[in-house]
Chains A and B, each alone.
Chain A
């Protein structure tokens, strides 16, 4: 089971890496450059959520390195 999922994950990531036709020219980045379009926008909200759900649920992480363990789980 676990092995099968790992292969699935790897295949997905590799497939995405091949999307070099996607993308924009440097001068077309005015919208993407906005603060609220960054993938890590609202970083404090994400950190709070990570901490709350870590203490209430069995799964955690996946997005990045949350930083600072907790004895709550």
Chain B
């Protein structure tokens, strides 16, 4: 995972902390290797070769079920087949915005509804790709926390690049403290959040955007148009029971553009939205 990952464990014995953090690392690496789209030896690679009735294991099946559910709930705004847009959008300094016809060439290869997912078999045309990038990191946070919770009664906080989940307060009852960065003032925690039990996830990346013609193009793309919403907030942080939920909601909020706050208000969850 291309971001700093930390696991905080409140315990007395260093040996226990080492043992638990080794477990956490092992689990994070396992998920990363299994679901990364940059490898050629994992299930994602196998699926992306396309094929009829590709059999998947139980964990992948649960992620596919979840991806399908998110696709339906979001009316197609969240789509794990949209990663192919990367071929047109390169979010690095100095990149240009793609031409419409580059995007038009890609759009026919996007759409979860073009797949046939019948647990445990997935049928996908070879010209499509799936990418768990939109849920993988948050899923890893929740999985690592669940693993540690099963092994220790101590309070644990898992933080992978700002997406985090805590198992409860510290022994003296005090909460974990975590800062949210204001994208306008990088490096400065503009809000300190007290996290007792539950998760945070942030969408919007201070560095992943293209500035062109006075407009800012963020990296969260609408799978239907192939374009980012021009009125997206700079970043959205959502607090939810799990990191996975927080991640989906913050991504969907970004796609809502100028209606992001309205959407977030309707969810009844705490959020921090920076414009």
Contact = CB atoms under 8 A, between A and B. Distances in A.
- Within 8 Å by CB, do A and B touch in the complex? yes
Interface of A: 25-27
B271 to A, nearest CB: 23
B226 to A, nearest CB: 28
Contacts of A27: 65-66, 69
B62 interface: yes
Contacts, number: 9
Contacts of A25: 65, 69
Nearest to A29: B65
A25 B62 CA distance: 11
Per DSSP, are chain B's interface residues mostly helix, strand or loop, or mixed? helix
Given A26-B61, A27-B65, A27-B66, 6 more contacts: A25-B65, A25-B69, A26-B62, A26-B65, A26-B119, A27-B69
B59 to A, nearest CB: 13
Contacts of A26: 61-62, 65, 119
Q: How many of chain B's residues touch chain A, expressed as a range? A: under 10
Interface in B58-81: 61-62, 65-66, 69
9 contacts: A25-B65, A25-B69, A26-B61, A26-B62, A26-B65, A26-B119, A27-B65, A27-B66, A27-B69
A23 to B, nearest CB: 12
Q: Which 5 A-B pairs have the closest CB atoms?
A: A26-B65, A27-B69, A27-B65, A26-B119, A27-B66
A4 B69 CA distance: 46
Nearest to B65: A26
Contacts of B69: 25, 27
A71 to B, nearest CB: 45
Nearest to A28: B69
A25 B61 CA distance: 12
A20 to B, nearest CB: 13
A21 to B, nearest CB: 16
Nearest to B72: A25
Contacts of B62: 26
A25 B117 CA distance: 12
A25 B66 CA distance: 10
B72 to A, nearest CB: 9
A25 B119 CA distance: 10
A36 B65 CA distance: 24
Interface in B156-183: none
A2 to B, nearest CB: 41
Contacts of B65: 25-27
A53 B69 CA distance: 47
Interface string B87-117: 0000000000000000000000000000000
A49 B65 CA distance: 40
A20 B21 CA distance: 46
A26 B62 CA distance: 8
A26 to B, nearest CB: 4
A27 B61 CA distance: 11
A25 B65 CA distance: 8
